[in-house]
């Protein structure tokens, strides 16, 4: 028997494989929630639109930034389904292309925050003592900044660009995952199967990797699904203020910055990009709701 020692303990084997089985059951349960499924479909559509934007856009060069002054601020028509912006660029194309930075911020920020924050929280929760105190104090300090403010400040310090915006928002987001993971770990730590593993001498980090992280992952994923929407909103806010994607590159936030100045003459310019943000954020929130309802018992523990 060449199994590592703790695998011989019942219940200690493959927390990861149990997770995958669980996820399959959850997926089946999720399918019954119509709202969540619709949201998922819409999100997938947006993701595909983002990937294939250059091919889907009716006016790809305008989407990139080429102006078309003769048709500036024209209302929605058959040639321009959503109208044009202040320099005549097709709004539909710009919005399609603008989905790229927005969605990237959402996924990147949440992904990175989870990757950084969750293990940190698990370590803090598992080892306790001064490691716990140190990590949690740093987390507290970061959490003491209003998120938007911190992101704006860091973005300004680093210089406005999409990448810096992503970085700064991630820096404001990771503490939430640390806190989440720590709370989960602390309650997990007391469970017998962890004690058993410890009793036969499994090193701490292995326990964390094999048993704690998979259990902590589920509430983290629920949180993450909803957070993508919020991260997207924050990204839009940053570019609205001028600290994200710079014009003429298309981004839903920076489109609104300009649209604001022209809303008397061209309200559609202000309405459609915002509508896109609203739609995508809503879908992520509804999907997150569905996911959380499916995983109900666990999320209650963390909520």
Question: Which chain residues interact with other proteins by CB under 8 A?
Answer: 137-138, 140-142, 144-149, 152-154, 156-159, 229, 233, 236-237, 240-243, 253, 256, 259-260, 263-264, 267, 270-271, 273-274, 277-278, 281-282, 284-286, 289, 300, 303
Specify the 3-state DSSP secondary structure of 90. Answer: strand
Q: Which is nearer to other proteins, 59 or 269 (CB)?
A: 269
Residue 76: count other Cβ atoms within 10 Å of its Cβ.
Answer: 15
Of residues 86 and 289, the one with the C-beta less far from other proteins? 289
Nearer to other proteins, 118 or 155 (CB): 155
Alpha helices in 190-251 (DSSP H): 192-199, 204-207, 213-241
| Smallest distance, other proteins to C-beta of residue 300, A | 6
Nearest approach, Cβ of residue 57 and other proteins (Å): 22
In angstroms and rounded to an integer, the radius of gyration of the C-alpha atoms of the chain is: 23
Q: Which is nearer to other proteins, 37 or 156 (CB)?
A: 156
Q: Which long-range contacts (CB under 8 A, 24 or more apart) does 165-169 make?
A: 165/105, 165/235, 165/238, 165/239, 165/243, 165/244, 165/245, 166/104, 166/105, 166/108, 166/109, 166/112, 166/235, 168/238, 169/105, 169/109, 169/231, 169/234, 169/235, 169/238
Q: How far is the CB of 59 from other proteins (least distance, A)?
A: 24
As measured in angstroms, the least distance from the Cβ of 149 to other proteins is 4
Give min distance, CB of 6 to other proteins, in A. Answer: 31
Minimum CB separation of residue 21 from other proteins in Å reads 21
Token look-up 């209003």 returns 146
Indicate the residue among 196 and 241 with the shorter CB distance to other proteins. Answer: 241
Kindly tell me which of 221 and 238 has the beta carbon lying closer to other proteins: 238
In contact, 89 and 68? CB cutoff 8 Å = yes
């Amino acid at each position: 028997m060449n199994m590592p020692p703790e695998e011989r303990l019942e219940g200690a084997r493959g927390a990861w494989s149990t997770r995958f089985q669980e996820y399959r059951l959850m997926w089946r349960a999720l399918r019954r929630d119509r709202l969540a499924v619709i949201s998922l479909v819409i999100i997938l559509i947006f993701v595909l639109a983002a990937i294939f934007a250059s091919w889907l856009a009716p006016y790809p060069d305008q989407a990139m930034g080429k102006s078309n002054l003769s048709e500036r601020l024209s209302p929605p028509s058959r040639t321009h389904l959503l109208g044009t912006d202040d320099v005549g660029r097709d709004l539909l194309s710009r919005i399609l292309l603008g989905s790229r930075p927005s969605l990237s911020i959402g996924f990147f920020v949440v992904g990175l925050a989870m990757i950084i924050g969750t293990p940190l929280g698990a370590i803090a929760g598992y080892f306790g003592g001064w490691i716990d105190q140190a990590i949690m104090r740093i987390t507290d300090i970061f959490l003491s900044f209003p998120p938007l403010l911190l992101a704006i400040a860091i973005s300004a310090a680093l210089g406005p660009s999409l990448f810096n915006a992503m970085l700064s928002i991630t820096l404001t987001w990771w503490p939430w995952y640390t806190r989440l993971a720590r709370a989960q770990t602390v309650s997990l730590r007391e469970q017998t199967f962890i004690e058993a593993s410890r009793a036969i001498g499994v090193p701490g980090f292995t326990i964390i990797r094999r048993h704690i992280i998979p259990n902590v992952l589920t509430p983290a994923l629920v949180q993450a699904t909803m957070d993508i929407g919020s991260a997207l909103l924050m990204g839009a806010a940053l570019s609205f203020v001028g600290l994200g994607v710079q014009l003429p590159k298309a981004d839903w936030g920076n489109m609104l910055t300009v649209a604001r100045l022209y809303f008397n003459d061209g309200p559609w310019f202000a309405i459609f990009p915002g509508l896109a943000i609203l739609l995508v954020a809503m879908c992520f929130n509804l999907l997150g709701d569905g996911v959380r309802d499916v995983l109900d018992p666990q999320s209650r523990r963390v909520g």
